[in-house]
Structure 1
Amino acid sequence: MTDLRLRRSVLYMPGSNARALEKAKTLPADSLILDLEDAVGQEEKELAREQVCAAVKSGGYGDRELVIRVNAPQTPWGEADLRAAIEARPDAILMPKVSSPAVLEAIANHLEALDAPEDIAVWAMIETPAAILNIKEIAQARRDRRTRLTCFVLGTNDLAKDTWAQLVPGRVPMLPWIMFALAAARSEGLTILDGVWNDIADVDGCRTECRQSRDLGFDGKTLIHPNQLEPANTSFAPTEEEVRRARLVIEAFAKPENAKRGAIKLEGRLYERQHISMAKRAVTWSEAIAAKGY
């Protein structure tokens, strides 16, 4: 058993859709992003804010992590969004357009001024060329506990819009930025979530990109439709063979005869001591998924 927080599947839910907010209580998603920003038209911003905050307060979402994506502070809705989100007390608030550490510092000051509970984390959307260029410094903002920064969320659609990069299968145009962001996140112990797959009807394409995300090293993938949950949940889960091999590595290095050995050979493969932590991670993920039930 483990208390690992899984974020394989992180589903955006439009805050203006009350039916969707209710349905989310039954979906096999690890986390839910209740959206007040991109998924909501200007004329529905206030309605979305009311519905999302009421939903978070009323509960009923089980152990699903609840995140509210607010509008940026400089927009007409940002201030009210932040105040309402703090009152609702989600697990985290997702801030859009975080392009420099100064943005996180300003948010930290804002949260302090509003007496935000300490257990509300901050997630950062990485969705601009400036964010990619400043990604190391943005990640290092986590060292200041006031920022509450715990997670990066890639906004690949916005990155494509601003750079003119094409959203093609395999994402070759974006891979350098993706990996740069991932390296920055890992260097500071941050969770990092991949951007969305846009073609709702193409579940196989979603599965392929989820597997790529997992292979690249992401914690999970953001999603825009419930039919993408199964591809994400299964893609980010270790296979039975991976878990079997992981347990074998852990057991082998635990044997007295291997106590001082830096590397051992198992089933024709060479394993070094650094593989122990990788093996333990696979086993921990497997146990967390089993405990969750999906």
Structure 2
Amino acid sequence: MDPRKRPFRSVLYIPASKERALEKARTLPVDAIIFDLEDAVAVEEKPAARALLVRTLASADYGPRAKIVRVNGFDSPWGREDVAALKGADIDAVLLPKVETTAQLDDLAAAIPDVPLWAMMETPRGVLNAEALAAHPRLAGFVMGTNDLAKELGCRYRPDRLPLMASLSHCLLAARAHGVVAIDGVYNAFKDEDGLWAECDEGRDLGFDGKTLIHPAQVASANRAFAPTEAEIDLARRQIAAFEEAGAAGQGVAVVDGRIVENLHIVTARETLARAAAIAELEESA
């Protein structure tokens, strides 16, 4: 699937040290997997986790799911070895934690050519530099690290995430300005279905492409929240039909459900239908 059109509704973190989790991920209805060599792996397990992940990627079939590997930072004892081990691996991106400067992306790009780079946005400096990071020629995706960012900001948790809203919106603006995928942060209370749905809905309303997840139980909510609804698909089709009919009659606008429909609405409508088609294609091939 064209990576520019690939859905990223659900992006599940999987500890690279857990063989059973790596196996189970092959069957989950997720759009993407982040194989985590960083926070999810204990210090003493990092070399073994790296070796296990490389073996798994060489033999396991993850179908249409995007395969992203979060390596350790290059300021750690493991980051460069992580990246060296991934050369030639069947992956869709390398995710670098705590990215703050384009120099970090340059360093990663030199270490692993021809693989798209993703950046964890989880520090104040990284957020402030979001526009420059999004403009990097190898950068393909942002992942919001809301737990670390909240810690760095010293903000309190609120269900509406008001203390994080400036950071979320700033990174989203940068991503959209440069055609970069933007994935919302995790929701920690994985048994709280109502809270998860509310945060997914908020992220979708803001414009994020999907949400990072910490448990398979969260997948269904993210897939539903970040997909066009039947009502949105129906409206898109009716807008396109009405606009084409108006154009054939020499008119520049149409009216649907009492609202003006201009060309900009048709662009959005076509994007909605394309997104729905891409999701259907992904689910059929899973």
What is the TM-score of this pair, normalised by structure 1?
Answer: 0.92
**Do the aligned residues in 1 keep the contact of 2:70 with 2:95 (CA within 8 Å)?**
yes
Give the corresponding residue for 2:31. 30
Alpha-carbon distance, 1:105 to partner: 1.5
Structure-2 separation of matches of 1:5 and 1:216: 19
**Do the aligned residues in 2 keep the contact of 1:2 with 1:284 (CA within 8 Å)?**
no
Structure-1 separation of matches of 2:106 and 2:206: 30
Query: How do 1:182-201 and structure 2 match up within 5 A?
Result: 182-201=172-191
Give the corresponding residue for 1:131. 126
Structure 2 counterpart of 1:29, one-letter code: V
Give the corresponding residue for 2:103. 102
Tell me: CA distance 1:260–1:173, structure 2 relative to 1, closer, same or farther (3 Å).
farther
**Do the aligned residues in 1 keep the contact of 2:13 with 2:34 (CA within 8 Å)?**
yes
> What is the number of equivalent residue pairs in this alignment?
283
Structure-2 separation of matches of 1:177 and 1:193: 13
Structure-1 separation of matches of 2:122 and 2:16: 21
**Do the aligned residues in 1 keep the contact of 2:69 with 2:95 (CA within 8 Å)?**
yes
Structure 1 counterpart of 2:134, one-letter code: A
Give the corresponding residue for 1:252. 242
Give the corresponding residue for 1:121. 116
Give the corresponding residue for 1:145. none
Q: Secondary structure at the match of 2:55?
A: helix
* Residue of structure 1 aligned with 2:273, choices 283, 289, 292: 283
Give the corresponding residue for 2:198. 208
CA deviations 1:2-36 (Å, max 9, x no partner) are 98311000000001111000000000000000000
Give the corresponding residue for 1:164. 154
Q: Secondary structure at the match of 1:241?
A: helix
Give the corresponding residue for 1:18. 19
Runs of 4+ in 1 over 6 A off after TM superposition: none
Query: How do 1:43-54 and structure 2 match up within 5 A?
Result: 43-54=44-55
Query: How do 1:44-123 and structure 2 match up within 5 A?
Result: 44-111=45-112, 116=113, 118=114, 120-123=115-118
Tell me: CA distance 1:42–1:260, structure 2 relative to 1, closer, same or farther (3 Å).
farther
RMSD: 1.7
Alpha-carbon distance, 1:256 to partner: 5.7
**Do the aligned residues in 2 keep the contact of 1:30 with 1:65 (CA within 8 Å)?**
yes
Structure 2 counterpart of 1:108, one-letter code: A
Deviates more, 1:2-11 or 1:275-284: 2-11
Unaligned stretches of 5+ residues in structure 1: 143-147
**Do the aligned residues in 1 keep the contact of 2:183 with 2:212 (CA within 8 Å)?**
yes
Alpha-carbon distance, 1:259 to partner: 6.7
Structure 2 counterpart of 1:170, one-letter code: D
Give the corresponding residue for 1:267. 257
Alpha-carbon distance, 1:133 to partner: 1.2
CA deviations 1:81-104 (Å, max 9, x no partner) are 011122323111101111011211
Structure-2 separation of matches of 1:156 and 1:206: 14
Alpha-carbon distance, 1:138 to partner: 1.2
